[in-house]
Structures are given as structure tokens and as C-alpha cells.
Structure 1
Amino acid sequence: MELTLIESSLLGALIFCFLIQLYFSLFVHLKLALVKIEPIAESGRKPLSVIICARNEAENLRQYLPVVLEQNYPDFEVVVVNDRSWDGTRDLLEEFSKQHKRLKVVTIAEGEKFIAGKKFAVTMGIKAAAHEWLVFTDADCVPASPNWLLGMQQPADEKTEILLGYSPYLKRKGILNALIRFETFFTAVNYLAFAIKGMPYMGVGRNMAYKKSLFFKNKGFAAHMHVPSGDDDLFVNAHATKRNTEICFHKDAHVWTEPNTSFRAYLRQKKRHFGAGKLYKGKHKFILSLQIIFQFLFYAFFAALMFFKPAMYIALGVLGLSIIIRCFIYPRLLKRLNYGKLSIWFPLLDVLLFIFLVFNAIVSIFVKKVTWK
């Protein structure tokens, strides 16, 4: 079968994109599928502080805060920062304070002298924390088990300053929920696998931990206080290294989170994350850009080759091989990360996620203003 110069060039480009895709699948993500999951410690080593920032989260706090307060850990406190709420959060926290000695409430009142935004709330919570090891989660989150803090406690190696956890979204009805869970899965696979590879670049504030001294040594969020998001991923991106960072994704240490229920709310959330990503270190932006660009080019070259009948069969073979390899790796990871039921929908969700990421990137160029709540 003879190919024209155009067909040969397109096929060569398609295969090159496939090889780049193969690198991330086999030499980065597969590491997470094969790494041994360490058992959770049976006892707590040192006291710790859990920090939760809440803005109009009365209903979520009522439902989920007791699960945090009743963790199977010998010495811990829970610091809840009430950030200018008006939905009854203050009264609820006062009620909980009478029942739980572990609970410490920090209230931020409405007023011009206060800096709006989650980073200020997080900073106030850290200042109020009594212990060196800080574990972070959100008001709409619930630990997967009573042993969550045993998994997220200070690792035995004192050189570890950052611990990256995992936070899947709860299952709800509809394709949007499936897309949200699948996108969260791929984000987690990426940051956890790169951390294993020795290049940690982000974490999620719904389930992560670090030392209080690390926060103040690096002047907290001063470098990016002007950015609405990034209290979690930008901090990790700036200060996580191969030597000071570990991960924990034992199933008992997962933290489940309430997902967005509207496409608009989800899109607004992703805009915030996209804006923070622009401030990542250069090498991290380069690697992450490679992933999305070459995935886009892979599909673009494949689509172009469908107009050339002799070459289209080779292109279909490359696509088929790509799907087979990815179906060998990612369904295994889906089960490992508590999303096993999405495995049968993997090929469809893979394409839908790619389309959404491209759409979100385009929209984010034109929409600048984002807020926390």
C-alpha cells in the first residue's frame, strides 16, 4: 500500500502523538496502578489539627462535621473557620461547641478590614491551630472511615512536610455526575502518579496535610494572595519536593465530597482551577500542557486521516491499540480509586472529558472574574 506524502506525514504525526500518550500511560500513570498501598497505622503518633473553612455551609456541617469530630485518633482538634456566613452556620457551630471539646471555632465577621477569600480564612485557621501537623478538608466532605486521620497523620519520616490525599466525589444521577467523577479521577491519577515519580505538583484541599512551620516559613499564601483559588494546589506546587512529599490513597483515608449538581457551577469551579494552573512552575506547566496538546493533536490527526482511505485503516489500528492499552491501565486505576463502576463507560467518558477540557480552556480565556463563594 503506497501512501502519499500528506498521508505519510499525518500518520507519522499520529504515531508520534500516540507515543507521547503511551509515555504518560505506561511510565507515569501505571506506577500508581502498581505501587503497593501501605497499611494505615494502628495508632496516632503525634497530635494534629484539622482545618475546615466554611461559608454558608450550615447543612453540610450538620451532616458531615460529626464524622470528623468522631475520628479514631487519640489527640486532635478540629478548627472550623466561619467565613462571614449568614445561613445559621454560627449558631450551629456554637451548638456543636457545647457537645464537642475538640471543636475550635474561628469567626470572620463581615467588614472592610477583612480580606475576602478562602486563603484568608485558611490563614486564620492555621494561626488558630494548636498543633504542628495540619490536615485540611472542606465542609461538604465526609471521611470514608473513622481511620481517616490515622492515614493522614504525620508520616514516620520527619522530613516529610506535605502529605497528599485523595478525595473522590459522591455518586449521584446523571451524565454530569459521571463526568465530574471521571475528571476528578484523572486529576488524582496525574498528581498522585507524578508525586510517586518524584515530581509532586499539586494537591486538593479536600484531603491533604502539611506542617504549620512550612506554611509560615514560606510566608503562607503571600506569593499568590491575589488569586481567588490555589490555597491547595498553588501552595503544594511552590513547596512540594521529591524529598518532603508523600502520598496516601488507602481506601480508609479517602474523603468523599458532594459534587456540583449544575453544569454552570461545575464550569465555574474549573475556571478557578484553570486560573491557578497558570501560576504553576514552568516545568509543571510544560508537562501538563504536553498531555492535553498531544491528546488534542492525536484526535485531530486521526480525524484528518479519515479522509484518506488507504491510510485510514492504519489510523484505526493505532486508535484501537491506544484504546486497548488505556483500557488495560485505567479501569484498574478506577477500581483502586473507588470509581470501579465507571470502568465500563471508560472509552466514552475519556472522549467526553477531553471535549470538556478543551471547551473549558477556551471559555477560561474570556472569563476572568472568579470567586470562592
Structure 2
Amino acid sequence: MGVLDYLFYTFIVVVFFQVNYYLFFLGRFAFLKQSKTVSKNLPVSVIICAKNEAKNLKAFLPSLIAQEYSNFEIVLINDASQDNSLSIMEAFASKHNNIKIVDVKNNEAFWGNKKYALTLGIKAATNHYLLFTDADCKPVSKQWITEMASHFNENKSIVLGYGAYAKIKSSLLNKLIRFETLITAIQYFSFAKMGIPYMGVGRNLAYTKTEFFNARGFMSHMKIRSGDDDLFVNEAANKTNTAICFSKNSFTKSNPETSLKTWFKQKRRHISTAKHYKQHHKTLLASIYILNLLFWFLTTVLLVLQYHWAWVVSLFAIRIIAYYLALGFSAKKLKEKDLVFFLPFLEIFLIIAQITIFINNLISKPKHWK
């Protein structure tokens, strides 16, 4: 049996695993119906950690203050900002009595560490239920707190939400950023539904104070400056305590990076954090990526050499159909339908970007926070 035979049979195996992954793994979220929840009016503390975010605080805080929820406070953490973030916080606090400010000074032992600032904010929060977002995030509706808080119950102490990015017309980079965000969300929602939650995003994440202190906060990864969201969830979440929230009123939206360089820098930080996940999570995520890489590589080689091309085209079509079904239904749920037409092209671009980022991270360590 020649080399091309081995490549062809490897291609068959890759397609088999990928079709099963898209239909039966990602399908757990893609074909999931949104269950109805009842508003519980739980006391919630919305926590925002800001470092040099004066402009964003001024623009986005009104959307938090306007939330139609009767029992919540906003905890604003000023993480040693050098701009006028603190004065803007104080201006809002003077007009709204449900705003609490935690002013964090630089600490020699935790210099520039967001987790230290967040810990102080969590300790200062009045309420048991904590809802996190970023200073540059805006809830898409006035029911954001209601929707996220409704998933807490006696068993569910962690709620994973969706943090979207704003659309920029005719921007390929914007589509790539939103596609990567979409893929990540589909994966962590699907993993959670399969009983193996592995991450969440700080743009839209909720958990209880009890869960935070039971996990000893961020202590196990305090020296890793990134990962206040995904590393915490990776450690604390399990198949019984984690819920997902993907109703359209529960999303947050952020302004995306507008240059490839800044997005590249951001993703370097995120990828460097993933190496600290639990081993079985890392193995599963690496396997998914390797299968994607092999699929496109083997498709290209076999078609260029016209080896069993009719079979290759048929198997390629089956995989693409499964891919479109899983991502198409998921994109509809998460209001990202405009990406569907570009899916295969965005997947190839993302694979190339991830390889480039991985190589860069091997050469030098990325910087974290601000």
C-alpha cells in the first residue's frame, strides 16, 4: 500500500470523526431549544474591573444602570488607572446609590494583576450572586441581569453567557474576530451540555461567592496574569454546577479590535492561557484543531493529485454539510447569521492565524492585562 493510500484512508478517518463531532458534539448546542426560565429576582452584584477605561466607562455604564432589575448593585473596580477612570466612576456613583467603588492601588506582590483587583471587588460585593462583564461591554437589552440570574438555582452556581463583538461592515478582520468568538462560544456551550465545561468569557459570566471561595478564588493561578475568567471556570466548573444562557436578551456586545496587530496580540494572550487548562481539556481541544488541520491539508493534497477524487469530493461535501448544520443553527441562535456564507474561508484563515500565534508564543511570551 502506497503513501497516497495511507493519506486517503487517513482522510476517511478524519472525516468520520469530524462529522460525528459537528453533528453529535456541537449538535448538543446547535439543535438545543432554549428552555424557559423564571425570573427569581436574586440579589446580584454586577462587577466591572477597569484599568484606564475612562472613555468606555462613560459610554457603557448607562446601559448597566438602565437594567430593568430591582435588586442589583454595580461594583466598579478601579485597577490603578492612570487616566480619569476613577473620577468618572465617582461621578456616576454620586447620582446612583447602587454603585460601589473599589479603588485598587498597585501592590508590589501583585503588580499589574487583574485577579488581585477582582478579588478585592468580589470581597467588597454585597450580594451572593456575581455577574461579570468588562468596561468596554454593553448588554444588548435591559433584561441582561434578569436573563443571566434566572439560571441560578440550588444546583447551578456558574452561568456561562455569550459575549459578542459589534459588526463592522465590509471588514474581513471583523468577520474573522466574530467567527473565532462564535466558534469558541459554540465549543464551550457544547462542552458544558456534554458535562465537561472548560471555560467561559469574562465579558459575560456569572457565579456565586460561595463558588469563588470554595475554589480559593484565583489562588491556584494567581501568578498567571491572564485567565481570570477561563482558568477560574476550568477549575471550578463541573457537570452539575454549570448552566448556559444563550437567550437573545442575555448577550453583551463589545467593540472589536480594528487592526490585525492588536487582535493578534490579544489572541496570543488567550492561547497562552489555554496551556494551563486541565489535561483532558487540552487533549480534546488539541485533537479538534489537529483534525481541522488534517482535513484541509489532506483535501488539498488528494484533490491536487486527483487521487480517488470522486470519493474525496463526496466525503468533503459530507463534512461541509455537517459543518454548516452545526455552525449554521448555532450562528442563528447567537445572532451571527451573516457569517454563515463565509464559514469555510474563515475557518482556513483562523487555522493559519492560530498556527502563526502558536509559533510566536513559542518564540516569546505575550504580555498580559494593561
TM-score (norm 2): 0.96
How far off is 1:289 after superposition?
A: 0.7
Task: Note closer, same or farther for the CA distance 1:13–1:126 as it changes in structure 2 (3 Å cut).
Answer: same
Mapping of residues 1-373 of structure 1, within 5 Å: 5-41=2-38, 43-110=39-106, 112=108, 115-153=111-149, 155=151, 157-173=153-169, 174-373=171-370
Compute the displacement of 1:156 (Å).
5.2
Unpaired runs of 5+ residues, structure 2, are none
- The 2-side partners of 1:6 and 1:320 are apart by 24
1:273-293 C-alpha deviation (Å, 9 max, x unpaired): 111111111111111011001
- Contact 1:7–1:311 (CA under 8 A) maintained in structure 2: no
Distance (whole Å) between structure 1 residues aligned to residue 197 and residue 116 of structure 2:
25
Q: Is the 8 A contact 1:83 1:121 kept in 2?
A: yes
Q: Secondary structure at 2:165's aligned position in 1?
A: coil
Shift of 1:332: 2.0
For residues 342-370 of structure 1, give each alpha carbon's deviation from its aligned partner in whole angstroms, at most 9, with x where no partner exists. 12222221221222222222222212141
Change (3 A) 1:171 1:40: farther
Residues 23 and 325, structure 2, Cα contact 8 Å, conserved in 1: no
Q: What is the CA distance between 1:294 and its match in structure 2?
A: 1.2
Instruction: Tell me, in whole angstroms, the C-alpha distance in 1 between the residues paired with 2:161 and 2:89.
Output: 26
Q: Which runs of 5+ in 1 are unaligned?
A: none
Percent of aligned positions with the same letter in both sequences?
39
Q: Distance in 2 between matches of 1:135 and 1:123?
A: 14
Runs of 4+ more than 4 Å apart: none
> Contact (CA 8 Å) 1:168, 1:338: kept in 2 or not?
no
Q: Is the 8 A contact 1:151 1:250 kept in 2?
A: yes
Write the letter of the residue equivalent to 1:64. F
SS at match of 1:172: coil
Q: Deviations over 1:194-251 (max 9, x none)?
A: 1011110100011011111111122111111111211000010011011111110100
RMSD: 1.5
Which amino acid in the other structure matches residue 337 of structure 1?
Answer: L
Kindly indicate whether the alpha-carbon contact (under 8 Å) linking 1:40 and 1:150 is maintained by their aligned counterparts in 2. no
What is the one-letter code of the residue matched to 2:134?
Answer: D
Q: Which moved more, 1:305-314 or 1:48-57?
A: 305-314
Q: Secondary structure at the residue paired with 2:164?
A: coil
2:200/2:230 contact within 8 Å kept? yes
- When the two structures are superposed, what TM-score results if normalisation uses the length of structure 1? 0.95
Pairs aligned (count): 369
Q: What code does the residue aligned with 2:252 have?
A: V
Q: Distance between the aligned counterparts of 1:40 and 1:145, measured in 2?
A: 17
